[in-house]
Amino acid sequence: MKTTISTLRKMYENSEKFTVLTCYDALFARILENCGVDVLLVGDSLGNVIQGEKTTLSVTLDDMIYHTRCVARGAEKALIMADMPFGTSQLSPQHTFDNAGKLLAAGAQIVKIEGGRIMAETVAFLTQRGIPVCAHIGLTPQSVHQFGGYKLQGHSETSARQLIDDARILEESGAALLLMELVPAALAKQITEVLHIPTIGIGAGGACSAQVLVLHDMLGLYQEKKLKFIKNFMENACSIQEAIRNYVEAVKNNRFPDREHEY
Ligand code: KIV
């Protein structure tokens, strides 16, 4: 049976963790869902791991449509989430709706948009018109130049407060999911506890409702970024499938991320 937003909602209500991995093609879509991954994120990280770019900024809507179509052809069960790439969600709610609609037509069931409260109007516009949104806060890679690098966010009292407020505002605007990247585990836990929607963490500790990693990072294939939260699941596995199953099991049983992989 196809995983939907309602499936994730039920898992959240039953305090059951769900698993997310990035995915960019049909073959891996089949492999990942057969290994029990609940959500396939067609991430604009494809700019790094597929296209060889230093940032995600050059990824286009056409790139995202192409890879979403590939993933949709391979996935029968897993929910498909697609990233809105840089420049496709910042201009206006109407422009974003137009672009998000193309990702849905390519097979996405939900779109992910980077940004805090500034995106609230857009999130409301899309969700009121039938497009589910995952809001992405904390380290938002499309703003890497604004942040001056891939740095931990929310570590001062003021920035932590801002992130909590952003999370609340985005939930009120209708976001179905909230993804937090590179934030202290204690802050992500606090945000998870105040919200009534599932949270997905990457470098955000183990208290989130779900976890995501970039596939090529957790398979130990992409060595450019040496970030503390990345775990190479191939280290104790004999095959890609075993590594992915170990990730799924570790997330579901609260064994990943552990202290070693959080801030
Ligand atoms: O593009 C991506 O892979 C992402 C993850 C880092 C969450 O947005």
Q: Does 224 participate in catalysis according to the annotation?
A: no
Could you give all domains of the chain from N- to C-terminal order, each with its CATH number?
A: 5-261 (3.20.20.60)
pLDDT tens, per residue, the chain with 263 residues: 999 999 999 999 999 999 999 999 999 999 999 999 999 999 999 999 999 999 999 999 999 999 999 999 999 999 999 999 999 999 999 999 999 999 999 999 999 999 999 999 999 999 999 999 999 999 999 999 999 999 999 999 999 999 999 999 999 999 999 999 999 999 999 999 999 999 999 999 999 999 999 999 999 999 877 789 999 999 999 999 999 999 999 999 999 999 999 99
* Residue 21 beta carbon below 6 angstroms from any ligand 1 atom: no
Give residue-wise pLDDT tens across range 68-110: 999 999 999 999 999 999 999 999 999 999 999 999 999 999 9
Total residue length of the chain = 263
This model's pTM is above 0.85: yes
Contacting residues for 43 by C-beta, under 8 A, at least 6 apart: 22, 24, 83, 112, 214
Residue 3 DSSP code: -
**Atom of ligand 1 lying closest to residue 20 CA:** 7
Asked whether 30 and 12 are in contact (CB, 8 A), the reply is no
Q: For residue 112, give the ligand 1 atom closest to its CA.
A: 8
Ligand 1 centroid, distance to 82 Cα (angstroms): 10
Q: Candidates 23, 28, 45: which one to mutate for ligand 1, based on the most atoms within 8 Å of Cβ?
A: 45
Residue 7 contacts residue 79 (beta carbons within 8 Å): yes
Neighbours of 242 (CB within 10 A): 14
User: Alpha helix locations (H) across 129-239?
Assistant: 144-147, 157-173, 185-194, 215-218
3-class DSSP state of 2: coil
Measured between alpha carbons, how far is 187 from 164 in angstroms, rounded to an integer?
A: 8
113-133: b or e for each residue (b if 16 or more CB lie within 10 Å)? bbbbbebbebbbbbeeeebbb
If residue 32 lies in a helix (H) or strand (E), which one and from where to where? helix 26-34
- Which residues fall within 8 angstroms of residue 139, CB to CB, at 6 or more apart? 147, 150, 151, 152, 153, 181, 182, 183, 203
Each residue of 160-192: pLDDT tens digit?
999 999 999 999 999 999 999 999 999 999 999
